[in-house]
């Protein structure tokens, strides 16, 4: 993995559709609106980015300890 690649948020197509479905439900709700839908999307992307950061930290720690990499060789 090249430097900084982990910072690109990667959501599966299914995840993207589910987020969009939930956001549209919020848009149609009389108690929520555009702000709620935007916050939902932002939270989902931040959650995924945080998970990727934790995975990258774990990978780097394993590399420092001399454990073999799980990435395929480039």
Q: What is the pLDDT of residues 10-55, one digit of tens each?
A: 899 999 999 999 999 999 988 888 899 999 999 999 999 999 999 8
72 Cβ contact list (under 8 Å, min separation 6): none
How far apart (Å, rounded) are the C-alpha atoms in residues 60 and 66? 10
The yes-or-no verdict on residue 73 having pLDDT over 70 is no
How far apart (Å, rounded) are the C-alpha atoms in residues 31 and 41? 17
The yes-or-no verdict on residue 4 having pLDDT over 90 is no
Structure-block tokens of residue 50: 């945080």
pLDDT computed for residue 44 by the predictor? 94
40 Cβ contact list (under 8 Å, min separation 6): 19, 22, 23, 26
């Amino acid at each position: 993995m090249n430097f900084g690649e982990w910072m690109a948020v990667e959501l599966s197509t299914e995840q993207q559709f589910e987020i969009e479905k939930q956001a549209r439900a919020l848009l149609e709700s009389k108690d929520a609106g555009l702000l709620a839908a935007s916050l939902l999307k932002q939270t989902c992307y931040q959650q995924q980015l945080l998970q990727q950061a934790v995975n990258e930290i774990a990978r780097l720690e394993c590399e420092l300890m001399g454990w073999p990499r799980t990435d395929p060789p480039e």
